[in-house]
């Protein structure tokens, strides 16, 4: 389990183990997790093979009957207690998140970790509010429904918001009475392991939450295959989402998928241009662009195109790239060498396809302890054609594609002309147009005159190939419940 000393980027982290049935144990293999800002190995962690995955599923199955019958108020209290402990350990968790993922400390400390606690509190409240209904069935009968948990759920987490994603899945799964096997991403296992300690401290019964680490192709694939797992909830890439559906088909597991995006951010000439420019910059560069909802396609009305691009360039020029622990840093290190290679590859593709680089366009060279870091300059491509690869494929990095448009119809057509449908934003002062777009945009979330807003109460998830099922909000509960109809003969 990771034990960190005080909050500084030089913390000591002990080797990670698997958290199964409330106890720590070794895995089948040992992997390393790397600080992408320095290239240094932070620590080792265990990889669960088929045997350990099976133990974790067994522990969850054994814990299920008692957890299902635990009074909802008690489940809610435990979730609330967990939120308090996360709040208590905010700095420690934020430090771990930043060294493992490379994101600026201001993001993990001020946004990610507090948001994680907020999510657990929100779902704590739901535990006591899950109920069926009575229904007017035919004949002399009394008929009612019950909303019951699924059983053992497998939760597979990505590396971009490691602890936040744990709460998006664990919150509703636990509030509804399921037991869980959670697998964080192999790039960022540390905060999930730290969470295991807090789950224990909060007083969750052993086996209710099991946290197992390892590669997706090993631990993740075994979990999806396991016949005694009732459901997989996954956030990650489209190809892996497809693999999971195929593999889950064998055992007819229920599946929720939250996949990638290529979200359009649309600015009309009647918008508050200063706000829209700030929104465009935050929309793509927050989280280094490693966000599924990143506003990676900027659609701009031709009449304000130059003004908007100049405004973005001015803001980008002021963004500090580098040491994630420096308070002024706005862009940290990308999560891994592989991700940096992918992003730099797309930057080259954009150049070859004829888009013009107006900001960035290369790796950000650093010196000293950051010389081997995975830093990429915030990059803006102008005059991008909607058919170019950088306008169609998810880059998952700090790369913005600016696409000018002539009129509203064209803007809408370009916005919807991708396989993804996760989120979209529109900037306009015309209230009718704003709602026309809210209606016509093919996306699970539409922001009007704002961007990247999240609240535990608002469902989040995809249209089209961005997936199905919803995280957050009341809708998230549906993914972890099944309805039972009960008939009573009254005659
Ligand atoms: P990924 O989809 O491989 O990883 C996400 C999670 O799935 C990790 O926990 C991983 O271990 C697990 N996984 C991988 N293969 C699996 C399998 N066969 N069975 C079960 N679990 C499996 O994403 P990756 O490779 O880390 O990133 C590649 C691209 O995916 C990124 O460049 C980005 O475009 C996209 N991505 C999207 C995310 C989102 O939030 N929608 C999050 C992370 C990545
Ligand atoms: Mg790491």
Among 168, 240, 394, which is best to mutate for testing ligand 1, by the most ligand atoms less than 8 A from CB? 240
Residue 132 phi/psi, 5° resolution?
-95, -155
Residue 328 phi/psi, 5° resolution?
-85, -10
Residue 5 in this model has a pLDDT that exceeds 60: no
Strands (DSSP E) found in 89-185: 134-135, 141-149, 152-156, 179-183
What's the distance, Cα to Cα, between the start and end of the chain in Å? Answer: 60
The CA distance from 491 to 311, in Å, is 75
pLDDT digits (tens, 9 = 90+) for 136-158: 999 999 999 999 999 999 999 99
Mean pLDDT of 430-451: 98
Residue 283 in this model has a pLDDT that exceeds 50: yes
pLDDT digits (tens, 9 = 90+) for 386-405: 999 999 999 999 999 999 99
- The pairing of strands 209-211 and 179-183 is parallel
Among 33, 224, 229, 236, which is best to mutate for testing ligand 1, by the most ligand atoms less than 8 A from CB? 236
Query: Which residues sit opposite 487 in a β-bridge?
Result: 143
The CA distance from 304 to 433, in Å, is 18
Average per-residue pLDDT for the chain: 97
The CA distance from 209 to 206, in Å, is 7
User: Which of 111, 216, 122 lies closest to 170 in space, CA to CA?
Assistant: 122
Give 107 Cα–ligand 2 centroid separation in angstroms: 16
Residue 238 phi/psi, 5° resolution?
-60, -50
Residue 75 in this model has a pLDDT that exceeds 70: yes
pLDDT digits (tens, 9 = 90+) for 99-143: 999 999 999 999 999 999 999 999 999 999 999 999 999 999 999
pLDDT digits (tens, 9 = 90+) for 429-438: 999 999 999 9
Instruction: Let me know the angle formed at the C-alpha of 73 by 72 and 74, rounded to the nearest 5 degrees.
Output: 90
Residue 4 in this model has a pLDDT that exceeds 80: no
Q: Going by CATH, does the domain composed of 264-456 fall within 3.40.309.10? A: yes
Cβ of residue 240 lying under 6 Å from some atom of ligand 1? yes
Residue 328 in this model has a pLDDT that exceeds 70: yes
Annotated catalytic residue, options 97, 186, 222, 258: 258
Neighbours of ion ligand 2 (CB under 5 A): 33-34, 100, 187
Give 205 Cα–ligand 2 centroid separation in angstroms: 29
Give 250 Cα–ligand 1 centroid separation in angstroms: 21
Residue spans of the domains in the chain: they are 3-259+467-472+479-486, 264-456
Residue 365 annotated as catalytic: no
Strands (DSSP E) found in 163-311: 179-183, 209-211, 231-235, 254-258, 264-267, 297-301
The CA distance from 423 to 293, in Å, is 6
Give 292 Cα–ligand 1 centroid separation in angstroms: 11
Give whole-number Cα distances, 182 to 18, 97, 223, 311, 397, in Å.
Answer: 11, 17, 9, 43, 26
Write out the CATH class of domain 3-259+467-472+479-486.
Answer: alpha beta
Residue 426 in this model has a pLDDT that exceeds 70: yes
Residue 325 in this model has a pLDDT that exceeds 80: yes
Residue 9 in this model has a pLDDT that exceeds 60: no
The CA distance from 255 to 153, in Å, is 10
pLDDT of 432 reads 98
The CA distance from 341 to 337, in Å, is 6
pLDDT digits (tens, 9 = 90+) for 225-261: 999 999 999 999 999 999 999 999 999 999 999 999 9
Q: Which ligand is nearest to the CA of 220?
A: 1
Cβ of residue 183 lying under 6 Å from some atom of ligand 1? yes
Cβ of residue 423 lying under 6 Å from some atom of ligand 1? no
pLDDT of 146 reads 98
**In the structure encoding, which two tokens stand for residue 437, read together?**
């777009």
pLDDT of 1 reads 42
The CA distance from 333 to 316, in Å, is 16
pLDDT digits (tens, 9 = 90+) for 14-29: 999 999 999 999 999 9
| H helix or E strand, kind and range, residue 426 | strand 423-427
At 11, the pLDDT band (50, 70, 90 cuts) reads confident
**Whole-number percent of the chain with pLDDT over 90:** 98
Residue 394 annotated as catalytic: no
């Amino acid at each position: 389990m990771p034990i960190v000393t005080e909050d500084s980027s030089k913390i000591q982290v002990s080797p990670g183990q698997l958290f199964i049935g409330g106890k720590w144990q070794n895995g089948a293999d040992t992997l390393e997790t790397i600080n992408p800002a320095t290239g240094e190995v932070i620590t080792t962690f265990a990889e669960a093979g088929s045997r350990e995955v099976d133990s974790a599923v067994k522990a969850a199955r054994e814990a299920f009957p008692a957890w299902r019958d635990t009074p909802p108020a008690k489940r809610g209290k435990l979730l609330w207690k967990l939120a308090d402990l996360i709040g208590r350990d905010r700095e420690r968790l934020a430090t771990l998140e930043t060294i493992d993922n490379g994101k600026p400390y201001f993001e993990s400390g001020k946004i990610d970790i507090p948001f994680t606690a907020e999510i657990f509190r929100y779902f704590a409240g739901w535990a006591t509010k899950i109920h069926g209904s009575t229904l007017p069935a035919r004949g002399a009968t009394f008929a009612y429904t019950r909303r019951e948990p699924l059983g053992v759920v497998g939760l597979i987490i990505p590396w971009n918001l490691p602890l936040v994603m744990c709460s998006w899945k664990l919150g509703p799964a636990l509030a509804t009475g399921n037991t869980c096997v959670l697998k964080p991403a192999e790039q960022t296992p540390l905060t999930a392991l730290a969470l295991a300690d807090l789950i224990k401290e909060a007083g969750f019964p052993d086996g209710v939450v099991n946290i197992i680490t390892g590669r997706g192709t090993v631990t993740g694939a075994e979990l999806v295959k396991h016949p005694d797992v009732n459901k997989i909830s996954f956030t990650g890439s489209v190809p892996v989402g497809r693999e999971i559906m195929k593999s889950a088909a064998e055992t007819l597991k229920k599946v929720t998928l939250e996949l990638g995006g290529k979200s359009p951010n649309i600015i009309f000439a009647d918008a508050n241009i200063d706000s829209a420019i700030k929104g465009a910059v935050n929309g793509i560069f927050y989280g280094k662009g490693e966000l599924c909802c990143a506003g990676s396609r900027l659609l701009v009305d031709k009449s304000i195109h130059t003004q908007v691009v100049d405004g973005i360039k001015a803001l980008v020029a002021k963004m500090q790239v580098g040491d994630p622990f420096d308070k002024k840093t706005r862009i940290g290190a990308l999560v891994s060498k592989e991700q940096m290679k992918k992003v730099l590859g797309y930057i080259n593709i954009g150049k070859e396809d004829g888009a013009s680089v107006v900001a960035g366009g290369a790796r950000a060279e650093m010196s000293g302890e950051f010389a081997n870091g995975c830093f990429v300059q915030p990059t803006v491509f102008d005059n991008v054609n909607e058919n170019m690869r950088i306008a169609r494929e998810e880059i998952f990095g700090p790369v913005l594609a600016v696409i000018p448009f002539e009129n509203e119809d064209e803007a809408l057509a370009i916005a919807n002309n991708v396989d993804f449908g996760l989120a979209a934003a529109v900037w306009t002062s015309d209230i009718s147009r704003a709602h026309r777009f809210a209606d016509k945009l093919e996306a699970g979330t539409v922001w009007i005159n704002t961007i990247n807003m999240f609240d535990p109460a608002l469902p989040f998830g995809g249209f089209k190939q961005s997936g199905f099922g919803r995280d957050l909000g009341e809708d998230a509960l549906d993914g972890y419940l099944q309805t039972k109809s009960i008939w009573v003969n009254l005659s």
